[in-house]
């Protein structure tokens, strides 16, 4: 692995990350309402850390599901191809669904997942939350319902996001120049 943690520049520190996650949870609580139940779909591996922090602050009854996709390999640019590694989900018909992503870049991954969920599972509602939104890189026609921060075309790591599998454990978001 050719990147050193000393070369990482801070983008959003731990306090900012915590504060924004809390704000997003409040928005989601408000949007879905407190009485309805929610199926949260965590997209592995990147959204694992954000998702776990987020759901601890949700007030409705939550069921947590995991799916696993890979779109990047180890490159720093999106391949545009989505590799489905595990898309096993329970019946979601008439359920409220929240798909949790770490970052939306081209949007290819999310477009693929949302089409699949809508067309094969027919949920009552399906919303998207992503911690980071790289709007500038969007090629697929998809936007999140909630997002934490907008980022420009930087390669970012931390809080679940990786470079060659590393740096997911950092409690902040940083980037390499």
Q: How far apart are alpha carbons 39 and 64 in whole angstroms?
A: 6
**Residue 148, interface with ligand IMP (CB under 6 A)?**
no
Query: 19 — phi, psi (to 5°)?
Result: -65, -45
Site string for ligand IMP, 64-103 (x = CB under 6 A): -------xx-----x----------------------xxx
DSSP secondary structure of 137-170: G--SS---SEEEEE--S--EEBTTB-BTTBSTT-
Q: How far apart are alpha carbons 13 and 15 in whole angstroms?
A: 6
Active site residues: 105
Find the part of the chain contacting Mg ion (CB under 5 A) among 9-17, 33-41, 45-53, 116-124.
Answer: 45-53
Find the part of the chain contacting Mg ion (CB under 5 A) among 21-29, 40-48, 91-99, 120-128.
Answer: 40-48
53 binds, among ligand IMP, Mg ion, none (CB under 5 to 8 A by kind): none
Is the Cβ–Cβ distance between 72 and 78 less than 8 Å?
yes
Q: Where in 151-170 is the site for ligand IMP (CB under 6 A)?
A: 155-157, 161-162
List residues binding ligand IMP (CB under 6 A).
46, 71-72, 78, 101-110, 155-157, 161-162
């Amino acid at each position: 692995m050719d990147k050193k943690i000393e070369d990482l520049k801070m983008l959003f520190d731990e306090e900012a990350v915590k504060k924004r996650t809390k704000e997003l949870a409040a928005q989601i609580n408000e949007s879905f309402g407190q009485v309805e139940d929610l199926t949260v779909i965590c997209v592995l591996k990147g959204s694992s850390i954000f998702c776990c922090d987020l759901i601890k602050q949700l007030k409705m009854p939550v069921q947590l599901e995991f799916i696993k996709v890979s779109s990047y390999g180890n490159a720093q640019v999106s391949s545009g191809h989505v590799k489905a590694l595990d898309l096993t989900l329970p019946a979601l018909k008439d359920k409220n669904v929240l798909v949790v992503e770490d970052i939306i870049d081209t949007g290819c991954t999310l477009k693929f997942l949302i089409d699949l969920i809508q067309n094969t599972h027919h949920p009552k509602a399906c919303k998207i939350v992503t911690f980071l939104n790289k709007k500038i890189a969007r090629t697929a026609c998809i936007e999140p319902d909630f997002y934490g921060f907008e980022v420009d075309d930087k390669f970012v790591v931390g809080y679940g996001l990786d470079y060659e599998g590393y740096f997911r454990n950092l409690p902040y978001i940083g980037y390499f120049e």
